[in-house]
Amino acid sequence: MSATTQLPAPARLHPGDLARVGLEGLRGRPLRAVLSAVGITIGVAAMVGLVGISTVSQAGLIAQIRALGSNLLTASPGTNLLGQNSTLPDGAEGMVTRIPGVTDVSAIGMVGGATVRRTDRIDPAETNGIAVQAARVDLLNTLQGTVRSGTFLNAATGRYPTVALGSVAADRLGIARAGAHVYIAGRWFLVIGVLDTLPLAPEIDRAALIGWPYASQLGFSGHPSTLYERSTAQTVQSVYDVLARTINPEHPEEVQVSQPTQELEAEAAADSAFNALFLGIGIVALLAGGIGIANVMVISVLERRQEIGLRRSLGATRHQIRMQFLTESVTLSTLGGAAGAAVGLVASTGYALVMGWPLTLPTETIAGGVAAAIVIGALAGLYPARRAARLTPTEALATT
């Protein structure tokens, strides 16, 4: 009686082993793996980077608003019913101080016809966009501004040919510090101060400020062109409601009242509104990356038919083959998502450091971007994984 030779049972591969084999398949094709993950990386980087920069900008603007205070109001003359330019009354400042809650009031007045030049050799038509303004001595205190060099106008210097330059005006005149002279309305003026930037009063940045008393010698009418008012935080709205009627009781419609911080608040709101657009751009890039991964995985199935057949013959089930290719697809998308999140974080951090704004990370976008990348990778790998799992060992090994 002949002995029967017994063949060993086919080896069974565990899912963990198949995941390891799938990862080894990726390592065997490094260039293709990198290229297929680029789309995912770009998508997540776009989402995290753009939303992160927008979030940093919004946080910076909000911090700036808090630092500057939202209790500053400005009033300027508008036009009358005939379309002619109106003027603010001479006693407007005194009337505003009587409004409950008002803490500081100051003003500037346009000195018409006066120009600022570095020397008397420059054509008077070359104004560089610098306006000559008469200024009250408490202007800088009301605006909570600071002086970069020198000092601001006071009761003594305001009676003489002295001038304080706004930051932009000083740059355009090529003056970095106090002590220089400029030529205003045919007279030499001593620059006693150069101001720092005033975000809530950009018109001051582009102005040459002279004393209110001395401005009358240059033809100044004495009417303020812009009035600045600060009140307590609790009374801002109530002051806003009565400011125009207080300044010009007969024609309040000829007074334009504004809150400078509203522009910064609108800018912060605009940054937030653009987040949806940035997310949409990132999702489109993610979908493109998912299509790229799906194409690469389909090609991988075609190229690895013999490998699939060999593993099936060694005992791997259809489910295990399916999980192997899904593992490769998800791994590609995860690596791409992590790389994209890192690129986006670097961009956001760099932008915050350059602008000097607080670093506020969009944690929901980061987590959502990586999660979306994983989901898209899994969806992209479904068809190639099912196609690989449908191959029988005979079909796969017969491939030449």
Query: Residue 386: pLDDT band by 50, 70, 90 thresholds?
Result: confident
Task: Indicate whether 259 pLDDT > 60.
Answer: yes
Task: Indicate whether 385 pLDDT > 80.
Answer: no
pLDDT tens-digit readout, 99-131: 999 999 999 999 988 899 999 888 877 888 899
> What confidence score (pLDDT) does residue 221 get?
87
What tokens were used for 344? Answer: 């986006």
> What confidence score (pLDDT) does residue 11 get?
45
Task: Indicate whether 135 pLDDT > 90.
Answer: yes
- From the number of C-beta atoms within 10 Å of its C-beta (0-12, 13-18, 19+), residue 136 rates as buried
How many Å apart are CA 42 and CA 49, to the nearest integer? Answer: 10
Contacts from 387-391 at CB under 8 Å and sequence distance 24+?
A: 387/298, 387/301, 388/301, 388/304, 388/308, 388/321, 388/322, 388/324, 388/325, 389/318, 389/319, 389/321, 389/322, 389/325, 390/318, 391/305, 391/308, 391/309, 391/312, 391/321
One-character DSSP codes across 144-209: T--EEEE----TTGGGSSEEEE-HHHHHHHT--STT-EEEETTEEEEEEEEEPP-TT-HHHHTEEE
Mean pLDDT of 239-250: 91
Cβ pair 155, 126 in contact under 8 A: no
Task: Indicate whether 214 pLDDT > 90.
Answer: yes
> What confidence score (pLDDT) does residue 132 get?
95
> What confidence score (pLDDT) does residue 199 get?
82
> What confidence score (pLDDT) does residue 317 get?
80
How many Å apart are CA 67 and CA 379, to the nearest integer? Answer: 48
> What confidence score (pLDDT) does residue 236 get?
86
H-only helix segments in 14-80: 15-27, 30-68
pLDDT tens-digit readout, 148-183: 999 999 999 999 999 999 999 999 999 999 999 999
Q: Look at 268 and 317; give whichever has higher pLDDT.
A: 317
Kindly state the helix (H) or strand (E) to which residue 77 belongs, with its residue range. strand 72-77
Query: Residue 4: pLDDT band by 50, 70, 90 thresholds?
Result: very low
> What confidence score (pLDDT) does residue 271 get?
57
> What confidence score (pLDDT) does residue 340 get?
84
pLDDT > 90 fraction of the chain, expressed in percent and rounded? 31
Query: Residue 8: pLDDT band by 50, 70, 90 thresholds?
Result: very low
What tokens were used for 96? Answer: 């505003």
Sign of CA dihedral 113, 247, 78, 240: positive
pLDDT tens-digit readout, 76-90: 998 777 677 788 888
What are the phi and psi torsion angles at 179 (to 5°)?
A: 115, -15
Q: Where are the domains of the chain?
A: 15-65+265-397, 72-261
pLDDT tens-digit readout, 343-357: 888 888 888 888 887
